[in-house]
Structure 1
């Protein structure tokens, strides 16, 4: 669990504020289900906030609120009105406002998760918005997807390949996906999961918890 601080929780240099985690990936890959799993698993031990992005609706935020994984007031929705990558990479003001609103209302927080709207393999978060990034794929697109690369796949701090339970149904070879992901990502980690079968997403939650712990140790508010 991250350390708690009394003020300056959204300082631009990172000191005294929550780790901001971006979750991106194509439509239907399981981003919202992963965010729900992280809230469910990490919520009892740390203070969380969530910002969701949809183009014209608040559907993802509404899903999370109905799921009861977090206090509904800790979930804010951004209606981007534009391509999803624009609001997370090019014009991040609305998302930053939502993040800072959560920190003002509920801070100090340990973690703020920002979920992108569904986008393609080029989707990445501005480092002015997200300190760490997860990119979510699913196996239903076939085992060729990781080797196609793209900034989302190759540069995210963690690649999550979801819906492994569907692999036999779509003829996807998880070994091939693992090999190809390693080839384009180098030493960056890859985790396979089926949130349907493992709703706690334990391996991903452990990775996130480690990031929050490391962040809190290196970005504590300096002593006066």
Structure 2
């Protein structure tokens, strides 16, 4: 008999304050009854995010673990993933089999992305409070993460942001990659997010999921239509 596919490893990254921990709590609250979930959080010198998720009561606290990176958050999710990879593997060994492991990055800037050696799919989170032009400015996570979440859309009237325009900018930056304009107060948007996550779990179970790298080394296009990765040739500076 073929080996049972391992759990889906889903990364959640984005700038500080965009609602990554809240998104993870939302997923756990809605999916824990149907999926076996584990969570790994990242902070530089604290386990505060892990403690906050445990306190929310949305998941068995033993299945929420923290990595203290001691360095720039993106380093531990992309450059040297050892601590995170060990945390995921220990979590699965202690509490598996699991269906889904959510790995939350520490809050970083718009360039942070996960190594495909750590996660199978990744969600990049921005929020309306960060400004309506954030999606338009782009970046590897905004443009090429498997899912872009424009979060806290219920706050848009209070911060002077046009959510429809922000979503249009995001879609233009991402081509055919999906975008969810999310508020935990809007059930339709929550349903969109949950549906996407369920679909990725199903793809992992059937072996149809192949991790892609949205990072700075991923192929991209320049004016004139040429497409390449930074490793294809040297750039002059």
Q: Tell whether the structures are fold-level matches, with TM greater than 0.5.
A: yes
2:202 to 194, 197, 213: 213
Segments of structure 2 that go 5 or more residues without pairing to the other structure are 209-237
Quote the Cα distance in structure 1 between the aligned partners of 2:28 and 2:182.
16
Q: Which residue of 89, 92, 99 maps to 2:78?
A: 89
In the alignment, the residues of structure 2 paired with residue 203 and residue 213 of structure 1 have an alpha-carbon distance, to the nearest angstrom, of 15
Give the one of 25, 49, 58 matched to 2:14: 25
> 1:1-224 alignment to 2 at 5 Å?
16-196=5-185, 198=187, 201-218=190-207
Q: Is the 8 A contact 2:38 2:63 kept in 1?
A: yes
How many residues are paired up? 209
For 1:80 and 1:167, the matched residues in 2 are separated by 33
**Consecutive unaligned residues in structure 1, runs of 5 or more:** 9-14, 220-224
Report how far residue 40 of structure 1 moved.
0.8
Correspondence for 1:12? none
Q: CA deviation at 1:178?
A: 1.3
Contact 2:65 2:87 survives alignment (8 Å): yes
TM-aligned CA deviation for residue 26 of structure 1 = 0.8
CA distance in 2, matches of 1:199, 1:35: 17
Distance, in Å, in 2 between the alignment partners of 1:50 and 1:34 is 12
More relative contact order in 1 or in 2 (CA 8 Å, sep 6+)? 1
TM-score by length of 1: 0.89
